[in-house]
């Protein structure tokens, strides 16, 4: 009886008020018809079968940056379930990056020297149709659970791990409490000198960068890097995104961007130049431009390598070198991202 009461009191004390971003995430659009109505595109061909395979998910803040009535809007393209996804195309499969073989502990991927990547959660704030994780069996591959013991034990036992990358899913869908718990323990491991977030939330749910999160960041003793994920300049053209990036920059976070080269979204010189210019205007440096991982259901987004290389050659003539992203692909078994040349 006593223990029941104690557990109940513990639960009560753990209850923290729901943050604005959590409410916005809960209210994100999941019904393709609602999205179509919001954009004045009723009656266009959304694929219910594709949405069944990988359901639609998109926050209102992101929808607000789409052009009304434009079926080919580059932001809409990234989230809209289309019949194209149902095509079976040779060479496009279910684990194109070989994640399943690189698990060294619960939720810990150690593929590259000096850095580990933690699959902290399967949750994202948006479902990107081209994502290689659209088939990732998160529930059996054990995202980092509970109190993070397994991941921390692995990091502690491997002194060559200097950088810890929080990925997912999206690590910023975790609560401030969960993140603070982890960073508190990571702070005790002297060989870890950098922490890195891979997150799309500053772009798709910028309210996530709130006072609570900035406190979590301020308490991290290591250098902090955040690799955001924007594919198109239009994703950056919003006051809430500008505020979020400015707050991160002011908190001393090094900001980098990774993008994916996507047919019909950003496969032009103009789109790439505008993306780089707009990123830097908000203090973000372009880092990687990934060619598409060949994941089943995403073939219609693919830009052939030869075309990608030609495109980047022209981009290089339009921008200072530090605004040209590295064109890379993920190759199973390779010790780093592989340059596409
Ligand atoms: C991409 C990736 C990294 C990070 O690679 P960088 O080149 O350092 O950005 C680390 N671990 C895994 C498993 C990755 O897939
Ligand atoms: S992991 Fe990144 S690219 Fe994939 S669905 Fe989530 S936010 Fe989009």
Cα–Cα distance for residue pair 141/28, rounded to 1 Å: 26
Nearest Cα residue to 128 out of 265, 227, 248 = 265
pLDDT score at 144:
79
Mean pLDDT of 253-269: 98
What ranges do the domains of the chain cover?
Answer: 89-339
For the segment 150-183, what is each residue's pLDDT rounded down to a tens digit?
999 999 999 999 999 999 899 999 999 999 999 9
Q: Tell how far CA 328 is from the center of its chain.
A: 17
Q: Tell how far CA 55 is from the center of its chain.
A: 17
pLDDT score at 238:
98
Å from CA of 11 to ligand 2 middle: 31
> Taking a C-beta distance cutoff of 8 angstroms, is the pair 103, 261 a contact?
no
- Higher pLDDT pick, 138 / 132: 132
**Cis ω for the linkage preceding 252 (within 30 of 0):** no
> Taking a C-beta distance cutoff of 8 angstroms, is the pair 62, 238 a contact?
no
Q: Look at residue 54 and tell me whether its pLDDT is greater than 90.
A: yes
For the segment 295-330, what is each residue's pLDDT rounded down to a tens digit?
999 999 999 999 999 999 999 999 999 999 999 999
Ligand 2 atom, smallest distance to 200 CA? 7
Q: State in words which class domain 89-339 has.
A: alpha beta
Q: Look at residue 70 and tell me whether its pLDDT is greater than 80.
A: yes
Nearest Cα residue to 292 out of 117, 65, 129 = 129
Nearest Cα residue to 115 out of 156, 155, 172 = 155
Kind plus residue range of the DSSP H or E element containing 241: helix 239-250
- Mutate which of 99, 117, 162, 325 for ligand 1? The one with the most ligand atoms within 8 Å of its CB, which is 117
pLDDT band at 133 (very low <50, low <70, confident <90, very high): confident
Mean pLDDT of 110-138: 89
Ligand 1 atom, smallest distance to 99 CA? 13
Q: Tell how far CA 113 is from the center of its chain.
A: 22
pLDDT band at 332 (very low <50, low <70, confident <90, very high): confident
Cα–Cα distance for residue pair 215/190, rounded to 1 Å: 21
Mean pLDDT of 89-97: 83
Cα–Cα distance for residue pair 35/118, rounded to 1 Å: 32
Nearest Cα residue to 57 out of 194, 169, 180 = 169
């Amino acid at each position: 009886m006593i223990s029941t009461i104690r557990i109940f009191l513990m639960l009560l004390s753990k209850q923290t008020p729901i943050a604005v971003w959590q409410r916005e995430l809960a209210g994100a659009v999941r019904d393709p018809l609602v999205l179509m109505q919001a954009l004045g595109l009723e009656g266009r061909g959304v694929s219910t079968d594709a949405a069944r395979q990988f359901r639609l998910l998109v926050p209102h803040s992101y929808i607000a940056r789409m052009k009304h009535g434009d079926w080919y809007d580059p932001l809409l393209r990234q989230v809209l379930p289309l019949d194209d996804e149902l095509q079976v195309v040779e060479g496009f499969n279910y684990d194109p990056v070989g994640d399943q073989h690189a698990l060294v502990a619960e939720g810990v991927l150690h593929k590259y020297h000096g850095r580990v990547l933690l699959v902290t959660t399967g949750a994202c704030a948006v479902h990107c149709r081209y994502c290689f994780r659209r088939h990732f069996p998160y529930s059996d591959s054990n995202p980092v659970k509970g109190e993070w013991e397994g991941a921390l034990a692995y990091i502690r036992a491997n002194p060559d791990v200097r950088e810890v990358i929080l990925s997912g899913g999206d690590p910023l869908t975790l609560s401030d409490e969960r993140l603070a718990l982890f960073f508190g323990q990571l702070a005790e491991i002297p060989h870890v000198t950098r922490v890195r977030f891979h997150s799309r939330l500053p772009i798709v749910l910028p309210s996530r960068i709130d006072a609570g999160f900035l406190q979590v960041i301020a308490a991290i003793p290591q250098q902090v890097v955040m690799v955001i994920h924007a594919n198109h300049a239009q994703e950056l053209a919003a006051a809430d995104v500008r505020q979020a990036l400015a707050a991160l920059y002011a908190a001393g976070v090094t900001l980098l961007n990774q993008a994916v080269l996507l047919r019909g979204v950003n496969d032009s010189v103009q789109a790439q130049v505008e993306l780089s210019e707009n990123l830097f205007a908000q203090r973000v440096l372009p880092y990687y431009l990934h060619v598409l991982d060949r994941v089943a259901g995403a073939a219609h987004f693919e830009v052939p390598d030869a075309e990608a290389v030609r495109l980047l050659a022209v981009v290089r003539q339009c921008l200072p070198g530090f605004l040209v992203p590295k064109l890379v692909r993920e190759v199973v078994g390779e010790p780093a991202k592989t340059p596409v040349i």
